[in-house]
Amino acid sequence: MSRSNDDWDELSERTRQRRKTRKKQNKRPMSLDDQADADFDEQHTSKFVEDLAGKNSSFNWMKDERNKRMFKKIENRIQGAMGTGTYDWVDRRTFDQVFDRLTLMSLYKMMNSGILDTLDFPIARGKEAHVFHGTDHDGQSVAVKIFHTSNAVFKNLMQYIEGDPRFGGLRRRHRDLVDIWVRKEHRNLTRLHRWGLPVPRPIAVQKNILVMEYLGSETQPSPKLRDVRIENPQPVFDEMLEFLAVSWQKADLVHGDFSPYNILWHNDAPIVIDVGQGVILHHPKAKEFLVRDVTRLVEWANKNGIDITLADAMYDVLEMDLSHVHRMEEE
């Protein structure tokens, strides 16, 4: 708790400093219209906070004045995630499930630091996380993956964390597992991206929030490979087979959950997502996960008319000539 209180004190102090600066810069009295708008915003925020706290005791913390001020500063910037969009599941349940106290604090930090400007609309949801379209302070689209902190899903994913020396001293409290999982996905994305592999570019991570490159149009994300009819599947298979080979031989990583469900079709090319399950080669189940990944790719290839066996595909992954593949310089 001491860490959380320190964080809130730091955020509150920064808020007070910015408020003082704005007051010095603008000493003119507000017009009647501006004052009416400000009063309406205050009433709207107070009512929203009171409704939340009244329905769910877990939101009582929002009644605290400094927490209410924090929420007011970001409320308009997360409106799309709270109740608008093209999905029928965008409603108060989404807010209750995703935006707890620590998540809102992490969003506040990201918005104050310039990493994130708005959270616009949801683009995907799963057992572990919701993904939202957002924008950075330059107006560029980003994907914001917010991992749930209130369920026990991550306890079933311990097999992907235990045995990974990158995450030693593991504590089994749920919140710790969530934070470790998010850092794990960020580091796996970074590793794969540095080898030039087709994955979303990682941008930032803060507790249970991962910000990365957005893949899609202004209104909807790119579709998954399983939902697309590929006219010529052979080049797609070849590229994904090389993805697995480079991951294994060069990046020393196994995806762990490779399938058409975790591949997006973006600009007529496959992009691999959801790499949180990825394990390094020294993980005790790395070879088992590799065989499973290659098996799923072969099954997709066979369904699309490609004549390839698991044995041949495994040989290619393990022995493919990758002399043309080089690690990218860090930015």
How far apart CA 132 and CA 151 sit, in angstroms, is: 19
How far apart CA 191 and CA 168 sit, in angstroms, is: 19
Q: Both tokens of residue 271?
A: 């992009």
- Grouping H, G, I as helix, E, B as strand and the rest as coil, residue 138 is coil
Q: Pick the catalytic residue from 120, 136, 164, 257.
A: 257
- Identify whether 257 is a catalytic site residue: yes
Q: Pick the catalytic residue from 88, 274, 312, 321.
A: 274
Provide CB contacts within 8 A for 51, sequence distance 6+.
none
How far apart CA 222 and CA 173 sit, in angstroms, is: 35
Integer angstrom CA distances of residue 55 from 44, 50, 74, 326: 17, 9, 22, 55
Asked whether the beta carbons of 229 and 265 are under 8 A apart, the reply is no
Give catalytic residue positions: 257, 274
